[in-house]
Amino acid sequence: MASIVLTNVDKIYAGGVKAVNGLNLEIRDGEFMVLVGPSGCGKSTALRMIAGLEDISGGEISIGEKVVNHLPPKDRDIAMVFQNYALYPHMTVEENLAFGLKLRKMPKPEIQKRVGEAAKMLGLETYLKRKPAALSGGQRQRVAMGRAIVREPQAFLMDEPLSNLDAKLRVSMRASLNTLHERLGVTTVYVTHDQVEAMTLGDRVCVLRDGILQQVDTPQNLFDKPVNLFVAGFMGSPAMNFVTAELVRGDGGAAVTFADIKLSIPDSTFTDKPGLDQYVGKKIILGIRPSDFEDAGSAGNHANGWATLPVKVEVTEELGSEINVLFLIDAPPVEHKDTVAAADSGEDEEASLPLVGDKSLWTARVNARSHARSGQNLDLVVDTHNLHFFDSASGLAIGHEANR
Amino acid sequence: MERKRRLGPMGVLTHAALGIWTLLVTVPIVWTFLASVKSEDEIFGDAWSLPATLQWDNFARAWEQARIGQYMLNSLVVVSFSTFGTMLVGSMAAYVLARYPFRGNRAIYMLFVSGLAFPFFLALTPLFFVVQNMGNVPVIGQFIGLNTYAGAVLVYIAYSMPFTVFFLAAFFRTLPTAVAEAAMVDGASHTRVFFQIMLPMAKPGIISITIFNILGQWNQYQIPLILLQDREKWVLTQGIADISTAAGYDADWAALFAALTLAILPMLVVYTVFQRQIQSGLTAGALK
């Protein structure tokens, strides 16, 4: 096992496209690091550079203290799992698993032992004599994992390994991956465009956009303290709601106003976000997570001191345990380049209604005890402790420690 | 079930065309086979009549007097080496051209492909002198000059390269890159990736192009005609041609047909045995 360190890594393709731009990233020994971002953000390129399948245009990559810039993949002691599994079609499962070990001139009994152990761990024992063509998608996926595991490498590199599986299998494989990492403790770099996978799997998550690192942190910190509009909009499903608002300070303390709504801001916010008071009287972009809303009727006591927001429900999405309430805010949608980029990439986002016109469509995730139905008027309460404020020009989160 | 029986106007046309094609191919072959067991008078009589008695000694005369047996062996030796060589060198070249981007890749590929359009007989005279000069190379010259199998094999290989590279490069491009990358990460060298992973994956294409080359090289006449002038080194096609020309206008027609039959049969067997693979190889790229 080893740590992987990327220092100022660049990748410039022929034609001048900069796929990865000055990437600095330290993946600690035994860590599960997820690289996430919209398609074309450079996450796969970064992974392939670590693997040695792409040349590095600039900077330095080291695995376990050893600079590997010019080492071919076979000398980097890493194992990789590919999106379409990339099994050797003319070999049986057993031969697929043993191939890498045979090439390393490992003695036969040792190969058999490792292949046996991996097959047992992944439940592949009965399929060892089959060819990949005779396996289901999930089984092929497990063979691909097994091929990585038997190698006992310094690090696992995984390039969207679950994206070809159906939804249900993906969830169960996600859980198996977590257990596997817990048990083996091998440094893992995992690429995905699915932010749910990123949140559930990663010890830390690295958000990339256009080849530039946006933020690296634990999933919870990414969710609670996004560094800019892009990360805020990309992480979390449904996506964060944005509006251009004005920060005001009056007799009753500070507040944000937009449309006809005024949400008061608790004093603690200003101590948490130093620099926010400089924006008083100015336009900012306000962000509210759908999960920070609650139906006033079913919120109960814990909503004490929360601000109230009367809305008219456009559409509801009932998910069983929760209800997504979609409603319109009488303010133009925020058209910052970051929010547009984040929204484009979301694959499971609801397509915006073509009828909303010059208004913003917001989503609130409320408890299923709420009886919100389409067309009704509803009072929502907002947890004003969790409001997010962004500079309307730069898109950076105001008061975030990385932006101070 | 109903639909299967009924043919549209296009279907009728297609079937008519295929029917005519089948006749065009089978009638001459059947006629040749039939003539090989007729007497000379019968051959010049009604083409559709059956022989009164089967003249098996036509084959005996072809085999012994016209030495078809010897020439067939020569053909076998030349074609085995040249097909093997063509496939080895051709598949390696095609793989590199299909998979590795490097400066000049496109130019080399185009050079191969332009070989397809080159009228071969234009090269016959210079080719003769090239091979003659190859004979003057110190030490190995005696093995690769005129009237040597190795010399002919080398020319056969060069002659077959354009189509082989053209076809296999297209085939290699359809194979998934990730499998080669997986092998690379697993610890395989470029050479090993090619021989142990990519070549087995390209099997359908390799088989069909191998058969294609065997057929083409077995039937080769112009190249041996100028390169192998020593009677001992002749290949089958030269031997057959000799039957009809050696005796002026008094050729042994019956033996000629027997010799032709002997030349056709092995190819027919090869084609029948590998028919399925040839078909799947030729359509593999299209079935995407």
- Does A73 sit within 8 Å of B184, measured CB to CB? yes
Rounded Cα distance between A86 and B178, Å, is 5
CA distance A290 to chain B (A): 40
Q: Is B186–A151 a contact, with Cβ atoms under 8 angstroms apart?
A: yes
Residues of B in contact with A100 (CB under 8 A): 186-187
| Residue from the list A51, A90, A104 with its beta carbon closest to the beta carbon of B185 | A51
Nearest to A99 among B176, B186, B203 (CB): B186
Distance between B172 CA and the closest CA of chain A, angstroms = 15
What pLDDT is stored for residue B284 in this prediction? 60
Taking each helix axis from N to C end, the angle separating B105-117 and B149-174, rounded to the nearest 10 degrees, works out to 120
Which residue numbers of B have CB closer than 8 Å to A's CBs?
Answer: 176, 178-179, 181-189, 192, 197, 200-201, 203
- The answer to whether A187 and A154 are in contact (CB under 8 A) is yes
> Residue B53's pLDDT is what?
85
Report the pLDDT value the prediction gives residue A343, as an integer from 0 to 100. 65
Distances (CA, A) of A157 to A77, A164, A190, A291: 11, 17, 6, 33
Decide: A390 and A397 in contact? Cβ < 8 Å: yes
Confidence at residue B162, expressed as pLDDT on a 0 to 100 scale: 94
Residue B77: per-residue pLDDT: 95
Q: Which of B176, B181, B188 sits opposite A103 (nearest CB)?
A: B188
Residue A252: phi, psi to the nearest 5?
-85, 20
Asked if A53 lies within 8 A of B200 by C-beta distance, the reply is no
Q: B186 contacts in A (CB within 8 Å)?
A: 74, 79, 99-100, 103, 147, 151
Chain-chain contact of B185 with A89 (C-beta, under 8 angstroms)? no
Give residue A359's pLDDT: 84
**Any bridge partners for residue B67, and if so which?**
none
Torsion, CA B87, CA B93, CA B99, CA B101, rounded to 10: -170
Burial of A265 (0-12, 13-18, 19+ CB in 10 A): buried
Question: Chain B: nearest CA to A31, how far in angstroms?
Answer: 21
Please give the Cα distance from B157 to B159 (Å, whole number). 5
Distance from C-alpha of B149 to C-alpha of B233, rounded to nearest angstrom: 8
pLDDT string in tens for chain B (288-residue length): 455 567 788 889 999 999 999 999 999 999 999 999 988 888 888 877 888 888 888 899 888 888 899 999 999 999 999 999 999 999 999 999 999 989 999 999 999 999 998 888 888 899 999 999 999 998 888 888 899 999 999 999 999 999 999 999 999 998 989 999 999 999 999 999 999 999 999 988 899 899 989 999 999 999 999 999 888 899 999 999 888 877 666 778 888 999 999 999 999 998 888 888 878 777 764 443
Q: How many CB pairs under 8 A join A and B?
A: 57
In three-state secondary structure terms, B90 is helix
- Mutation test of the interface with chain B: which of A103, A157, A189, choosing the one with the most B Cβ atoms within 10 A? A103
pLDDT tens readout for residues A167-205: 888 888 899 899 999 999 999 999 999 888 999 999 999
Q: Which CATH architecture has domain A4-233?
A: 3-Layer(aba) Sandwich (3.40)
Residues A105-114 pLDDT 10s: 999 999 999 9
Q: Chain A: nearest CA to B258, how far in angstroms? A: 44
Q: Amino acid letter at A401?
A: E
* Confidence (pLDDT) at A260: 84
Give me B88's structure tokens.
Answer: 């080895």
User: Residue B198 corresponds to which tokens in the numbers above?
Assistant: 């990519």
Q: A255 at the B interface (CB within 8 A)? A: no
A15 interfacial to chain B (CB closer than 8 Å): no
3-state secondary structure chain A: CCCEEEEEEEEECCCCCEEEEEEEEEECCCCEEEEECCCCCCHHHHHHHHHCCCCCCEEEEEECCEECCCCCHHHCCEEEECCCCCCCCCCCHHHHHHHHHHHCCCCHHHHHHHHHHHHHHHCCHHHCCCCHHHCCHHHHHHHHHHHHHCCCCCEEEEECCCCCCCHHHHHHHHHHHHHHHHHHCCEEEEEECCHHHHHHHCCEEEEEECCEEEEEECHHHHHHCCCEHHHHHHCCCCCCEEEEEEEEEECCEEEEEECCEEEECCCHHHHHCCCHHHHCCCEEEEEECHHHEEEHHHHHHHHCCCEEEEEEEEEEEECCCEEEEEEEECCCCCCCHHHHHHHHHCCCCCCCCCCCCCCEEEEEEEECCCCCCCCCEEEEEECHHHCEEEECCCCEECCCHHHC
Question: How is chain A split into domains, by residue range?
Answer: 4-233, 234-403
Report the number of secondary-structure helices (H) and strands (E) in chain B: 16, 0
A74, A84, A90 ranked by CB distance to B184: nearest:
A74
- The CA–CA distances, whole Å, from B233 to A61, A375, B137, B151, B176 equal 62, 95, 21, 12, 45
- A80 contact B CB<8A: yes
Domains (range + CATH), chain B:
36-287 (1.10.3720.10)
* Chosen from A45, A68, A82, A145 to mutate, greatest number of chain B CBs within 10 A: A82
Lowest mean pLDDT among A221-225, A266-270, B18-22, B127-131: A266-270
| A51 in reach of chain B (CB within 8 A) | yes
Distance CA(B225)–CA(B238), nearest Å, equals: 7
Are A256 and A262 spatial neighbours (Cβ–Cβ below 8 Å)? yes
CB A311 within 8 A of CB A380: yes
Q: Which residues of A touch B178 (CB under 8 A)?
A: 82-84, 86
pLDDT, residue A344, reads: 56
User: A337 or A241: which carries more pLDDT confidence?
Assistant: A241
Closest CA to B75 of B215, B185, B247: B215
Residue to mutate among B179, B181, B184, B186, with most A CBs inside 10 A, is B186
Q: Residue A347's pLDDT is what?
A: 43
Q: How far apart are CA A117 and CA A123, in angstroms?
A: 10
Q: How far is Cα A273 from Cα A397, in angstroms, rounded to an integer?
A: 9
Least CA distance to A88: which residue of chain B? Answer: B179
Contact A77, A14 (CB under 8 A): no
DSSP B198: I
* pLDDT tens-digit map of A36-53: 998 888 999 999 999 999
